[in-house]
């Protein structure tokens, strides 16, 4: 048995904050993204189960759509979670950053490692979650799972109008780039300090730690930790679930 699969060593407790308050504009019209069904179960429930699957995680804080906290609470009551996992639901804010902050504000004092995980990444495998926790336990204040890129990336001068040709400014060396996923793992005090200090708009939590001048490290991510963003991602997510069901059947 690897160390990852054991419950927390004495003195370390891990909580997961799941921002789930977004509308899912890029997915198109419908319910808030986190509440859309995947394999008949809301995406958020998959994401909560993915965090609770780690024996180290003893609390999940779900940040619900601003007016959807009661609905999310009853959803969580209706779906089984492991007995060792508690959960809390708080209403979210206008930006992801604000929602994460509201989740952190609700954290009880006795957790020293915090994971932040997008509800929109419902299928992250438990081994990825455990690898992130392990790297924080080993002393990194901020850990992100990430994958090498398949596509070459160009930096452009963004066009004023949609569809206009955009001049290329640079082509970063692909081998040095990583596409970042969640859960990102943090020393709790460091993450809270970052959220209190950094006011710039950011698209992930680790970049706030970078702005503090602290070292962020990358560990291997997983293909199945992709973010459900556009309609085609739902097709892929259903296919991953179908493959898991098939594999479980044999
Ligand atoms: N999120 C949040 N609060 C917000 C905005 C986003 O908690 N005000 C959460 C989303 O629910 C999602 C995660 O942050 O789990 C990643 O955001 P993204 O994939 O961009 O989701 P949405 O913002 O919902 O999608 P879109 O940008 O297409 O509207
Ligand atoms: Mg968004």
Q: pLDDT tens across 191-250, in order? A: 999 999 998 888 899 999 999 999 999 999 999 999 999 999 999 999 999 999 999 876
Atom of ligand 1 nearest to the CA of 18: 15
Measured from the alpha carbon of residue 93, the closest ligand is: 1
Q: Which CATH superfamily groups domain 14-146+179-248?
A: Spore Coat Polysaccharide Biosynthesis Protein SpsA; Chain A (3.90.550.10)
Q: Residue 94 and residue 65: Cα distance in Å, rounded?
A: 9
pLDDT at position 5 over 90? no
Torsion of CA 45, 99, 130, 34, to 10 degrees: 20
The pLDDT score that the predictor gives to residue 250 is 67
Q: What are the helix and strand counts (H, E) for the chain? A: 7, 12
- Tokens standing for residue 235: 């097709």
Task: Write out residues with Cβ below 6 Å of ligand 1.
Answer: 19-26, 33-34, 63, 92-96, 99, 118-120, 227, 229
CA distances (Å), origin 59, targets 88, 98, 178, 181, 244: 8, 20, 29, 21, 26
Residues across the chain? 250
Measured from the alpha carbon of residue 23, the closest ligand is: 1
The pLDDT score that the predictor gives to residue 7 is 59
- Tokens standing for residue 36: 């859309």
Beta bridge partners of 113: 14, 187
User: From ligand 2's centre to the CA of 203, what distance in Å?
Assistant: 9
Atom of ligand 1 nearest to the CA of 118: 15
Closest alpha carbon to 145 in 216, 214, 96, 203: 216
Contacts with 52 (C-beta within 8 Å, 6 or more apart), sequence order:
60, 81, 82, 85
3-class SS at 193?
A: helix
User: From ligand 2's centre to the CA of 3, what distance in Å?
Assistant: 35
The pLDDT score that the predictor gives to residue 6 is 58
Pocket test for ligand 1, best of 22, 61, 64, 123 (most atoms within 8 A of CB): 22
Q: Residue 95 and residue 60: Cα distance in Å, rounded?
A: 20
Give nearest CA residue, ligand 1 atom 26.
24
69 within 8 A of 88, measured Cβ to Cβ: no
Atom of ligand 1 nearest to the CA of 26: 28
User: From ligand 2's centre to the CA of 157, what distance in Å?
Assistant: 22
75 within 8 A of 93, measured Cβ to Cβ: no
Residues 121-152 have pLDDT tens digits of: 999 999 999 999 999 999 999 999 999 999 99
User: From ligand 2's centre to the CA of 22, what distance in Å?
Assistant: 6
């Amino acid at each position: 048995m690897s160390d990852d699969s054991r419950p927390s060593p004495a003195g370390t407790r891990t909580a997961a904050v799941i921002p789930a308050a977004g509308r899912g504009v890029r997915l198109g019209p419908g319910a808030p993204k986190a509440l859309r069904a995947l394999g008949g179960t809301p995406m958020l429930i998959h994401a909560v189960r993915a965090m609770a699957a780690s024996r180290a995680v003893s609390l999940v804080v779900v940040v619900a759509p601003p007016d959807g906290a009661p609905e999310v609470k009853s959803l969580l009551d209706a779906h089984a979670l492991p007995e060792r996992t508690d959960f809390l639901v708080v209403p979210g804010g206008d930006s992801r950053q604000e929602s994460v902050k509201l989740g952190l504000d609700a954290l009880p004092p006795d957790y020293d490692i915090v994971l932040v995980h997008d509800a929109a990444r419902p299928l992250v495998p438990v081994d990825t979650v455990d690898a992130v926790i392990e790297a924080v336990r080993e002393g990194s204040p901020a850990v992100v799972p990430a994958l090498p890129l398949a596509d070459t990336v160009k930096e452009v001068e963004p066009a004023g109008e949609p569809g206009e040709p955009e001049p290329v400014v640079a082509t970063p060396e692909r081998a040095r780039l990583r596409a970042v996923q969640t859960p990102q793992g943090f020393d709790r005090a460091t993450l809270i300090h970052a959220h209190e200090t950094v006011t710039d708009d950011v698209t992930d939590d680790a970049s706030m730690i970078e702005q503090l001048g602290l070292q962020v490290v990358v560990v291997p991510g997983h293909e199945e930790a992709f973010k459900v963003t556009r309609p085609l991602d739902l097709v892929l997510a259903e296919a991953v679930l179908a493959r898991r069901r098939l594999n479980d059947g044999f």
